[in-house]
Amino acid sequence: MEEFHVLAVDDSLIDRKLIERLFRISACQVTTVDSGNKALEFLGLHQHDPCVSPHAQQNLQEVEVNLVITDYCMPGMTGYDLLKKIKESSSLKNIPVVIMSSENVPSRISRCLEEGAEEFFLKPARLADVNKLKSHMMKTKCKSFDEPEKIVTKVNQESSPEIANISSGTMEALFEEYAAFENKVKRTVYIDNLSPLAKESVVKAALDQFGTVIQVKLIRTYLELKGMGRAALVEMQNGDEAKAIISEIRNSPFMISGMPRPVRARPAVVAMLDDRPRKPGRRIMCCWLKSSDPDFEVAMKMKRVVRNHAKEANFLLKRQLEEEEQLAKKQSESLNAIYNKYELIEHVFNSGTATRLAKHYKMSTYVRQ
């Protein structure tokens, strides 16, 4: 059995298969249903009763759900209605809920987030989106690991025999190590659109004004077009300093090392750090799909979507570079024009021309320092 259990709700068979495949790649157990009512039935929540029945409560204890991911637009009960039902339940309100939609409607996104949704993704879902949800699912697991004996029992039931033999003390140390790593992630900022000429020392000096920079790690872009901005992971002393950087860069243009475009910042996620420790109880499962496999067509669709996305991204990057080259050229021309003006004014004063003109027109001259 996998470590996390995900309940996926979507009226589209293709989308359900896609979500199921993505979460199974991430070693999660997945249950799929095609409507909000069936999701409530699986959770044991009656449509008109926010309380969970004793029988359903026993079922939830046996089959723990760590995440509900649902489509927004569905016949009958919408994903937003399902979200409200779950959050209104005292027994289910702590289960993270993620909403998906093929339409980018800001008011819809805000309404779902205000109601308690953890994330709002645009379709089609990607593996990167799924990886973002691990931290939300981890919170539901951590509540079950209050005592060392419970940790050992959980590992024995869901993990490989190799991990099942680990003592409770060792398991506690592993969880402490991973918790410390998660704290490091919270105080780390991901920055991109950096100039290719920017060095670690330059980035550190630019961000030291917000607090204490522990370290800066530049991320190389081997596959991007030449001239594209670089990215970096910046670890701050605490999470508040990291939030201050993100807020400042989002609200006002922030230039580093003369790049013609301002840099961008967002919170780092676990998958961005290559020094992450192994998560206790984690298993990675890989398999080849044959053409006869029922998920083969879904995998081929995912492959085509990824290729099309790569082509679109490459086209947009080329356009972005062209626009930035034009912007840089305009900036250079403006700076040269301003420099020539000041050079002309300086020559007029140094050559005595300004003094002679002042005497001729009976005016006084002075240079303000």
Domain boundary residue, one of 247, 269, 291: 269
The residues, any chain, with a CB within 8 Å of residue 119's CB and separated by 6 or more, are 98, 99, 129, 132, 133, 136
Q: pLDDT tens for residues 110-164?
A: 889 989 999 998 888 888 888 888 888 877 765 544 433 333 333 333 444 444 4
Which residue, among 84, 106, 102, has the nearest Cα to 93 in the 3D structure? 84
Q: pLDDT tens for residues 183-228?
A: 999 999 999 878 777 788 888 988 988 899 999 998 876 555 555 5
- Structural domain of residue 344, as residue ranges? 299-358
Across all residues in the chain, what is the average pLDDT? 79
Total domains, the chain = 3
Query: What amino acid is encoded at 67 in this protein?
Result: L
Give a yes or no: residue 45 inside a domain.
Answer: yes
Name the CA dihedral angle for 193, 199, 201, 204, rounded to a multiple of 10 degrees: 10
Give a yes or no: residue 340 inside a domain.
Answer: yes
CA distance from start to end of the chain: 76
Q: Which helix (H) or strand (E) holds 32?
A: strand 28-33
Task: Record the tokens describing residue 350, joined without a space.
Answer: 């140094």
Would you call 298 exposed, middle or buried from its count of C-beta atoms within 10 A (0-12, 13-18, 19+)? Answer: buried
354 vs 363: CA distance, rounded Å: 10
Give a yes or no: residue 290 inside a domain.
Answer: no
The CATH number of the domain where 95 resides is what? 3.40.50.2300
Task: Record the tokens describing residue 136, joined without a space.
Answer: 């939300």
Give a yes or no: residue 121 inside a domain.
Answer: yes
Q: pLDDT tens for residues 250-282?
A: 888 777 765 556 788 999 998 888 888 877 766
Q: pLDDT tens for residues 294-345?
A: 788 888 888 899 888 888 877 877 787 777 778 778 878 888 899 889 888 8
Give a yes or no: residue 319 inside a domain.
Answer: yes
313 vs 306: CA distance, rounded Å: 10
Q: Are residues 110 and 239 in the same domain?
A: no
Q: Are residues 311 and 262 in the same domain?
A: no
Q: Are residues 263 and 314 in the same domain?
A: no
pLDDT at 186: 93
